Structure 1
Amino acid sequence: MNGRLKIGITCYPTLGGSGVVATELGKLLAEKGHEVHFITHSMPFRLGKFHKNIFYHEVEVNDYYVFKYPPYDLSLASKLAQVAQLEGLDLLHVHYAIPHAVCALIARQMVGSQLKVVTTLHGTDITVLAHDESLKDLIRYAINQSDAVTAVSEDLIRETRELLAIEKPIDLAYNFVDKRVYYPRDVEKLRREFAHPHEKILIHISNFRPVKRVLDVVETFSLVSKDIPSRLLFVGEGPELSKVHCKVKELGLLDKVTFCGKQDDVAQLLSLADVMLLPSEKESFGLVALEAMACGVPTIASNAGGIPELITHGETGFLADIGDTEKMAAYVKLLLNDEKLYETVKKACLHRARTTFCNERIMAQYEEIYYRVLERELPEDLTNKLTCLG
């Protein structure tokens, strides 16, 4: 194709929103005809089968005896430079400021300034790591030295500027879903395995870290189930899982709660649900809520971080203060007891997911950024796409 780019992508390849978005973006870019090279310590879990125009380069860590800890960062920087030189990469798109952006900057120093670095901030590098005084200067350096920086929400951009005194332009590039994957599925038969026809299904998906406030999910469901016949599905694993088990048992909900464990393909499970619960105390965006939205499932969430940029209160879901499980339960019951309201919210969810957060829109944004930092003219098809998307 005219304007074909060679792009290196580095992300955390395991389960997690940043890895999902980075991998899905790479797949979309490859479909468009760009050449995409994933440079990570293991195969990104969303890659799986063979994809045309996608290549994988494993970062192998040297466990030389003089090192107290295996130097992954140095190995990654070396591998990034090696792949950039051998494959003639135009740019590196790295997800997270540290260690990935720092490693990319070292690689650029080794290869030359013609190799551009685009850094995407997903949250943890700002909301957690930037509060550590020993890391703050390093994160600031990674951001300021990148050729372009993007963030997944306005709230994350605001926090980045406030914490690190960043004046450099930061592009807003929301997370996205591929509407060919996330859409309301016909799951009538599968639904019978989880609930009776008269029961509603609530769902929560996360890594069960304390910040997700998963115990609030149990409390909210307990309040809902007293008035509405319902079931709760937990998807994922993490450090709070044992506490959740204990809480479920304590409240006498064992026969109403199903623990599904980690699941790579959640579109089917989301289509089973009537409502998503996301009571996090911090959430830079809330990708699982967007995935639910794209499947026509409204979310009841906390009014935290970037969530209000995704969920419009009373239109595509409902927001409550962090920890207010009574209010969250009241919103769930309001939705499930009013069929007309539920259908209105469901339609609004589908429309917003397919427009504001669709794959075509966000990919076109990233392509525009790539051509900008490379100082190349936009291909005609991209110019037309950006014009159509507004």
Structure 2
Amino acid sequence: MKILIISCWYPSDEAPSQGMFVHEHAKAMVAAGIEVRVLHFYTYPSRELYRRDVFSEVRDGIMVYHVQVYSRFHKAALLMKNHLGKHLASVMDTILDEFDPDLLHAHVVFQAGIMARRMSRIFEIPYVITEHWSGLDWFSKAVHMPVGQARRAYRNAAGVSSVSEFLAGRMREYMRVEREIEIIPNVVDTELFRPGRADENPDGSKAANGGGINPVRLLCVTSFGKGRKVTKRPELLVGALALMPDDERGNYHITIAGAGDGLEEFQRLVAENNLKGQFDIAGFTPREKLAEMMRHADALVHPTEIETFGVVAAEALCCGLPCVVSNRGALPDLVTHGENGLLVPENTPEAWMEAFRSISGLINISNKRQISQEISKIVSYQAVGSRWKTWFKSLPLSSY
């Protein structure tokens, strides 16, 4: 089987971590014996009026065709479907000279799903849509967005999938998707994200000094945003520690991996609460370094308002790391309270303070190998690739 992935979100030199989860799905398909090419398009802010770069590269053995537009009107350019469609159709001609896909696979309905429908009609190739996006609620209500086109793209696809049942529910609620939605989880590189060895007991449980760990080494992988669409809530960790007596705060040390426009504001908040000794801010962290940090941490803390899957939590679990997460979105599908982590019932400093106080007990009963094995059999390349292959074969492609 041959699949051409179409996505606005995909790693590139401009944005090395953007859409990494789509690239991981491509690698999972390859692991299952599927031939894959990728068509990536995006618009980037620039001082230039308009410039378009079209080029190809091989990334982890997968041929990727990039269509990158640079413009001071980059947001408007992404909405110009006829303009984008002409660019993509031209690149499709080049791709089809050497690759004859059985299926177009769009990741995220806006704009990839909309463009996949257009390419499907031009080149007579069926398409499917996989949804990852947490923004379907505001998108469905935005008068300037092509909501009708997105709904038609879902409706006319050969199949529709989602990375979680939670997100499938939002697709039904906000985008009126009334058809069957296949649930196929995101992927984790389980060779990279795996338990450490030096700090484990022979039975796989966490080594501890005198039955406890002091200070508890916590890791938070987040982004520092601003404005109405902020979803990650690292400031709750500051609020939780600020509520504690001074002698209790010293029991916790939090390393934060992440970047964003709101980083300076977060640093000010830490300083104002006299918590510089409890936080290390590592900034943007490559995946290889992040996996190493997970292997040396005692637990992941992940305050968030929404997760359509929770890749960071899945990666941490693959490392055998218990996860303390907000009881939001799809996270309860990954984290079982009291077993491989804790679900914090409310996003308040008080609720997170109580969660902090339960972490040491959780660490002492956690079996890292067991945590890793249970999640790895669901999210590994082999597991997800097999799911894709089975689903693709079940689709009624002959009717398109």
* 1:103 and 2:119 correspond: no
* 1:22 and 2:44 correspond: no
Q: What TM-score, normalized to structure 1?
A: 0.81
Match of 2:182 among 165, 171, 191: 171
* 1:128 and 2:152 correspond: no
Which string of whole-angstrom CA distances, capped at 9 and with x for unpartnered residues, describes residues 195-254 of structure 1? xx9432111112223211121122234457852533211111113212211111111122
Which segment is superposed worse, 307-316 or 324-333?
Answer: 324-333
What amino acid does structure 2 have at the position aligned with 1:317?
G
* 1:57 and 2:65 correspond: yes
The 8 Å contact of residues 59 and 75 in structure 1, kept in 2 or not, is answered as no
Q: Which residue of 1 aligns with 2:218?
A: 202
Distance in 2 of aligned mates of 1:128 and 1:274: 37
Q: Which residue of 2 aligns with 1:116?
A: 126
Calculate percent identity across the aligned residue pairs: 21
The 8 Å contact of residues 81 and 110 in structure 1, kept in 2 or not, is answered as no
Which segment is superposed worse, 359-368 or 242-251?
Answer: 359-368
Shift in CA distance, 239/40, structure 1 to aligned 2, threshold 3 Å? same
Q: Which residue of 2 aligns with 1:353?
A: 375
Alignment of 1:1-390 (within 5 A): 4-14=1-11, 19-41=19-41, 51-52=60-61, 54-61=62-69, 69=77, 71=80, 73-74=84-85, 77-79=88-90, 81-86=92-97, 87-112=99-124, 115-135=125-145, 136-186=147-197, 198-209=214-225, 210-222=230-242, 226-227=247-248, 228-265=250-287, 266-337=290-361, 340-341=364-365, 343-344=366-367, 346-373=368-395, 375=397
CA shift for structure 1 position 326: 2.4
Report the number of matched residues: 354
Mind listing any 5+ residue stretches in structure 1 that lack a counterpart? 189-196, 377-390
What amino acid does structure 2 have at the position aligned with 1:103?
M
The 8 Å contact of residues 296 and 347 in structure 1, kept in 2 or not, is answered as yes
Distance in 2 of aligned mates of 1:178 and 1:68: 36
Which string of whole-angstrom CA distances, capped at 9 and with x for unpartnered residues, describes residues 118-158 of structure 1? 21111334243223244332321221122111111111111
Distance in 1 of aligned mates of 2:110 and 2:329: 21
Which string of whole-angstrom CA distances, capped at 9 and with x for unpartnered residues, describes residues 21-42 of structure 1? 2101212322444322121148
Q: What TM-score, normalized to structure 2?
A: 0.79
Distance in 2 of aligned mates of 1:230 and 1:49: 43
Mind listing any 5+ residue stretches in structure 2 that lack a counterpart? 43-55, 200-212
What amino acid does structure 2 have at the position aligned with 1:319?
L
Distance in 2 of aligned mates of 1:186 and 1:243: 37
CA shift for structure 1 position 48: 9.4
Shift in CA distance, 137/253, structure 1 to aligned 2, threshold 3 Å? same
CA shift for structure 1 position 270: 1.4
What amino acid does structure 1 have at the position aligned with 2:337?
H
Q: Give the root-mean-square deviation of aligned CA atoms.
A: 3.1
What amino acid does structure 2 have at the position aligned with 1:218?
V
What amino acid does structure 1 have at the position aligned with 2:392?
Y
Task: Give 3-state SS (helix, strand or coil) of 2:224's partner.
Answer: coil
Which string of whole-angstrom CA distances, capped at 9 and with x for unpartnered residues, describes residues 264-317 of structure 1? 212112112112111111111211011111111111111111111111122221
Considering Cα pairs closer than 8 Å and 6+ residues apart, tell me whether 1 or 2 has the greater RCO.
Answer: 2
What amino acid does structure 2 have at the position aligned with 1:51?
D
Q: Which residue of 2 aligns with 1:385?
A: none
Task: Give 3-state SS (helix, strand or coil) of 1:106's partner.
Answer: helix
CA shift for structure 1 position 76: 5.4
Which structure 1 residue ranges, 4+ long, deviate > 4 Å from structure 2?
Answer: 14-18, 47-50, 67-72, 221-226
Which string of whole-angstrom CA distances, capped at 9 and with x for unpartnered residues, describes residues 91-111 of structure 1? 221211010111111111111
Which segment is superposed worse, 317-326 or 268-277?
Answer: 317-326
Shift in CA distance, 157/31, structure 1 to aligned 2, threshold 3 Å? closer
Distance in 2 of aligned mates of 1:365 and 1:80: 29
Which string of whole-angstrom CA distances, capped at 9 and with x for unpartnered residues, describes residues 39-62 of structure 1? 1148xxxx997534x212121449
